[in-house]
Structure 1
Amino acid sequence: MMNKRLFSILAASTLLLFGLAACGSNDSGETTTTSAKKENKVIKVASHLPPMTDVVELAGDVLEKDGWQVELIQVSDNIQYNELVNHKEADASFAQHEPYMQMYNKEKHGNLTAVQKIYNAKVGYYSKQFKSIDELPEGAKIAIPNDLPNEGRALAILNEAGLIKLKDGVGFEGTVKDIEENPKQFELVPLDLLNLPEAYNEDDIAMTYNYPTYIAKVGLTPKDAILLEKTIDERFAISLVAREDNEASEAIQALKQAMTSETVKKFLEDNHSDTLVPAF
């Protein structure tokens, strides 16, 4: 009788342990699955400075209700956001216009693609010494960007204002080699975009080109510019950028929708109308 009872207890214990082990395995599986789902709902976005970083964070707030988590990766230069996306360390970036992205693709054999235009920045020229372009003296030094896409845009503004004359047909893609006429013999000084704000304070620089994001470092806005871009080329709109392999993914399409939401548009119009115009 004792042997039968002992056998029953051992059998019950074995079944109980097996059951607990099975439950534990099931719980672990569910936890792993849940964790994987959460990870799949994370969108990593590389960006640089406000208001670009602000837009990314606001898009994250919009997407939160749908279970998405937007992770902002803030970088300190104009190289890393493309490197991160191209090497799949980030899903997307929001820091540049399409011509700049195309330059990266060409130089680095990248597969980046512009997904959505978000806003057009009000770019132009600033001077600490002069209040009008008419005051610029002969031989004055003018600081311009040293990368080809932004150089072409900067020269197009000077051309439109009559300060120089570019070859017919170059449009926004001209270089200093395309200058046919330079009546006042201006000296064009190429600098990295991030160094242009410092050039504004240099005594020998009469005028410097810049974006609102960068010139804000020296306390200026487009209202302080002595020359602003008049003709807008939509290719230069600051855009959401992804890769060719993930452009159509659920995550990037959700991000695109959030960044073109009324919430983002209202934020841009209410808080940054002096520096940009929404492009959607």
Structure 2
Amino acid sequence: MNRRALTSALAVLLLPALAACSSAGAAAEERTVDGLPVVTVAGATSNPLEQASIEYVRDEIAADYGIAIDYVHIEETRAILEATEKKEVDANVAMHEVYMRAQNEENGFHLAAVVPLFKQRQVLYSDRYDDVADLPDGATVAISTSTVAASTALKFLEQIGLVTVDPDVPLSELAVEDVVDNPKHLKLVPVESVPRALPDTDAATATAFAFDTAGIDPVAEIAGIDGLDEYALQLVVHQDSVDDPEVSKLAEAFADPRLAAFVTENYGDLVTPLER
């Protein structure tokens, strides 16, 4: 099944599934299913990759590790963080470690990344040029206004040789003003939606997943990498729960090679599972 067929199937399956999924506040009410302890995992249904991954582990893998998973739908990343910090959910699949560490520092959270899952391909798209070498002096390049997405984009632009960023600035804090060398004098333009900005700029950088979700043909890709390990999507829990037996089983379930195979089959051109 390709990823678009999978996404359509998930949309159909979601209707009955909603009845079985808790809100964060009710997540802890039922603690066993068919005799198995329930572990609550938060994620957003608006992200097909996160949703598909959680549902696949819940439906195909979790029981083999002696647990049942309750998928708790929370749409905003901030709300997912707060629910995990307050232990209203046991874990989440919604962020990478750079973002998690930044939130720990800024908000006094106590979150820990326990299993790296997969890296999203970072790409540079252009409707005007066929190769990154063709970008002219002073070309406009759209990047996200999101601090986390912008830092990812800047590290990517550095990796493909277009800019150099200040090595003393933490990854989570990188911003346009931290570019210390820009030989092509690129004009880095922060925008709310990078895919929508593509027609109005010389190039735009975001994850391949973002462009795919927006329906943009990957033929527009002029540069890309499989992503940095630091930006791999993680299974995240509260620091106090890292050694809990049920959380350990959950971590093992998400590290199961069947999940990596599932993601590769359905999203292999957009993400790369982490080698274990």
TM-score (norm 1): 0.75
CA distance in 1, matches of 2:58, 2:232: 21
Structure 1: tracts of 5 or more residues without a match: 1-34
Partner of 2:183: 183
CA distance in 2, matches of 1:221, 1:85: 36
How far did 1:238 drift?
A: 0.9
CA distance in 1, matches of 2:257, 2:245: 20
Distance 1:79 1:206, change over 3 A: farther
Indicate the SS of the match to 2:77: coil
Task: Say which of 202, 206, 209 aligns to 1:210.
Answer: 206
User: Does 1:240 pair with 2:238?
Assistant: no
Partner of 2:81: 82
What is the RMSD of the two structures over their aligned residues, measured on CA atoms?
2.7
CA distance in 2, matches of 1:55, 1:263: 11
Partner of 1:259: 254
Distance 1:277 1:142, change over 3 A: same
Identity across matched positions, percent: 25
Partner of 1:139: 138
Indicate the SS of the match to 1:130: coil
How far did 1:152 drift?
A: 2.9
Indicate the SS of the match to 1:163: coil
CA distance in 2, matches of 1:85, 1:263: 26
After superposition, the C-alpha distances for 1:178-200 in whole angstroms (9 at most, x for unaligned) are: 323323322212245xx223223
Deviates more, 1:41-50 or 1:252-261: 41-50
CA distance in 2, matches of 1:51, 1:265: 12
CA contact (8 A) 2:42 2:91 kept: yes
TM-score (norm 2): 0.76
User: Does 1:45 pair with 2:45?
Assistant: no
Corresponding pairs, count: 241
How far did 1:115 drift?
A: 0.6
Of structures 1 and 2, the larger Rg is shown by 1
User: Does 1:60 pair with 2:31?
Assistant: no
CA distance in 2, matches of 1:220, 1:73: 30
After superposition, the C-alpha distances for 1:74-114 in whole angstroms (9 at most, x for unaligned) are: 33343222122122222111121100111111222111110
Structure 2: tracts of 5 or more residues without a match: 1-29
User: What amino acid does structure 1 have at the position aligned with 2:162?
Assistant: L
How far did 1:36 drift?
A: 5.5
Indicate the SS of the match to 1:180: strand
After superposition, the C-alpha distances for 1:201-220 in whole angstroms (9 at most, x for unaligned) are: xx422222212332222224
CA contact (8 A) 1:145 1:191 kept: yes
Partner of 2:160: 161
CA contact (8 A) 1:117 1:239 kept: yes
How far did 1:263 drift?
A: 1.7
